[in-house]
């Protein structure tokens, strides 16, 4: 009987964790879409679409971002969500979301991103990665973010006062 209770407990815990993770991606997606309104990219008027890239395939945030992409635009441009691998051109997107399990790929690609107008968003729970423009994390059950203001400006991105004021 103890095995049955243990199995049920483990199943419940697994389902709860899965739901909590889905909630996390939903919040991250909302923040990413809000950042599109608070950051200005150079020469966006010359672009046909606004690209949000996710480093790595099959990450749950991809479906969260895709669910809302058709309802939104950035500067009148439709939003395209793309899954990228280490071999892809990471500078081909306006926003690059880097999950924790892809930070090593980001570090290897950092030199290519240095002078590109790409807003790099990470989700590191510890220290903010040096390559990141914005680091999203959960603190006291709330989604918050750190901002590398100087690094973001060096990529020729213009930040609104609102995004700067609410950063940790």
Tokens at 154, concatenated:
């060096």
Predicted local distance difference test score (pLDDT) of residue 22: 59
pLDDT at 18 over 80: no
Confidence band (pLDDT; 50, 70, 90) for 2? very low
Domains (ranges, CATH) in the chain? 19-166 (3.40.50)
Average pLDDT over residues 100-114: 89
CB neighbours of residue 79 within 10 Å: 21
Per-residue pLDDT tens for 38-50? 999 999 999 999 9
**Tokens 């993770």, located at residue:** 21
Of residues 146 and 18, more confidently modeled: 146
Lowest mean pLDDT among 16-30, 75-89, 94-108, 121-135: 16-30
Beta carbons of 137 and 123 less than 8 angstroms apart: yes
CA distance 55 to 123: 12
């Amino acid at each position: 009987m103890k095995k049955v209770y243990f199995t049920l407990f483990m199943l419940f815990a697994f389902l709860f964790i899965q739901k909590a993770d889905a909630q996390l991606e939903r919040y991250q997606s909302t923040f990413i879409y809000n950042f599109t309104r608070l950051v200005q990219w150079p020469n966006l008027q010359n672009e046909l679409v606004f690209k949000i890239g996710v480093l790595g395939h099959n990450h749950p945030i991809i479906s969260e971002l895709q669910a809302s992409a058709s309802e939104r635009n950035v500067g009148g441009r439709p939003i395209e969500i793309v899954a990228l691998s280490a071999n892809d051109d990471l500078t081909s997107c306006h926003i690059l979301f880097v999950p924790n399990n892809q930070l090593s790929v980001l570090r290897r690609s950092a030199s290519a991103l240095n002078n590109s107008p790409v807003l790099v968003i990470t989700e590191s729970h510890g220290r903010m990665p040096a390559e990141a423009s914005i680091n999203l994390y959960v603190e006291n059950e709330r989604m918050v973010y750190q901002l590398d203001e100087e690094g973001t400006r060096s990529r020729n991105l213009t930040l609104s006062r609102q995004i700067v004021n609410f950063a940790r």
